[in-house]
């Protein structure tokens, strides 16, 4: 996504922030059900230590707002802001660091980095923003192959990994509470398919992302994390593992939902995060 495109789409969506627009591209709601101006929203999240943006992976509004938020956070000279991303697995960190440091070419990075299919439109702008501003970008997720092994063979399979492989996951043993409501919901949605291993596979992702977030947090640092909303909704998932290990961080969460009418949202739909990005269901998808 080029800078000209970013500017063009920014101009379009800024117009949607005016209260007299009948068909806004999005609205921001607080958990109490109040609509919030983008500027007020930024005032509140910019003071936080950890900010979790729960996205819908194929939602263009999510990705555009992530870019704008990251751009404003890193422009603040009073904090050192890092960016963390579920979309990169921990064993890709070396490639990311080499690319951000101009040690390898863009083509080399993109050919080797196991990129998501929507990387070009949805995540490349964030990576390039980090590169342009010398911002650390952290690959937080567990390598997919290990999460797949957990789904197939259970948590014990992680004990069999080599010491080299274990450096890309949360320290073992990973204590998982399968009664956490978000995990129960995952199991119910799957209709029992996968059993407890389905929960374990999800939880090792959450635990690993929490681990690499904490590993890279310095004193007074700020971290802006991009992840699917189910990894941080209801202050569970990644946030649960962080708060199980440390206390004292100011944490704020953002959720994204699709609705028929952004002006008519059930309060219950806004209860999963501090702020909810409400997007019309008719909005185009990136894939």
pLDDT of residue 194: 86
Residue 274 in tokens: 């501090």
Q: Can you name the residues that pair with 251 across neighbouring β-strands?
A: 50
Cis omega before residue 46 (within 30°)? no
pLDDT averaged per 10 residues, the chain (length 287): 48 46 93 98 97 98 98 96 98 98 98 97 98 98 98 97 98 96 93 91 98 96 98 98 97 98 97 98 97
CB 2 within 8 A of CB 67: no
Q: Is there a domain that residue 262 lies in?
A: no
Q: Is there a domain that residue 28 lies in?
A: no
Q: Is there a domain that residue 60 lies in?
A: yes
CB 50 within 8 A of CB 252: yes
Q: Is there a domain that residue 242 lies in?
A: yes
Domains: count for the chain: 1
Q: Can you name the residues that pair with 36 across neighbouring β-strands?
A: 28
Helix (H, G, I), strand (E, B) or coil at 175: coil
Q: Locate tokens 């000279």: which residue? A: 77
pLDDT of residue 20: 58
pLDDT of residue 17: 46
Q: Is there a domain that residue 76 lies in?
A: yes
Task: Please tell me the pTM assigned to this model.
Answer: 0.91
pLDDT of residue 2: 55
Q: Is there a domain that residue 97 lies in?
A: yes
Q: Is there a domain that residue 2 lies in?
A: no
Q: Is there a domain that residue 24 lies in?
A: no
Cα 181 to Cα 103: distance, rounded to the nearest angstrom: 44
Strands 35-36 and 81-89: unpaired
Cα 232 to Cα 243: distance, rounded to the nearest angstrom: 12
Q: Helices then strands (H, E): number in the chain?
A: 11, 8
* Domain harbouring 244, CATH code: 3.40.50.11550
Domain extent for 222:
48-252
């Amino acid at each position: 996504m080029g800078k000209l495109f970013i500017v063009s789409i920014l101009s379009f969506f800024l117009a949607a922030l005016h209260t007299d627009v009948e068909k806004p591209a999005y609205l921001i709601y607080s958990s109490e059900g109040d609509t919030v101006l983008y500027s007020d929203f930024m005032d509140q999240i910019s003071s936080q230590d950890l900010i979790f943006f729960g996205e819908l992976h194929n939602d263009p509004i999510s990705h555009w707002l992530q870019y704008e938020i990251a751009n404003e956070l890193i422009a603040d000279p009073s904090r050192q802001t890092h960016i963390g991303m579920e979309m990169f697995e921990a064993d890709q960190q070396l490639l990311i660091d080499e690319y951000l440091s101009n040690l390898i070419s863009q083509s080399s990075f993109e050919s080797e980095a196991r990129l998501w299919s929507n990387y070009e439109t949805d995540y490349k702008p964030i990576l390039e923003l980090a590169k342009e501003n010398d911002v650390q970008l952290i690959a937080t997720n567990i390598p997919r192959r290990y999460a797949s092994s957990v789904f197939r063979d259970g948590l014990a399979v992680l004990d069999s990994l080599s010491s080299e492989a274990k450096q890309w996951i949360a320290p073992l043993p990973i204590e998982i509470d399968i009664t956490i409501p978000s995990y129960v919901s995952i199991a119910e949605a799957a209709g029992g398919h996968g059993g407890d291993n389905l929960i374990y596979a999800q939880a090792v992702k959450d635990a690993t992302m929490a681990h690499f977030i904490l590993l890279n947090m310095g004193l007074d640092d700020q971290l802006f994390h991009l992840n699917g909303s189910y990894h941080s909704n209801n202050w569970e998932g990644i946030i649960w593992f962080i708060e199980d290990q440390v206390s004292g961080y100011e944490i704020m969460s953002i959720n994204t939902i699709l609705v028929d009418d952004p002006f008519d949202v059930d309060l219950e739909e806004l209860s999963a995060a501090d702020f909810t990005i409400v997007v019309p269901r008719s909005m185009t998808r990136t894939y």
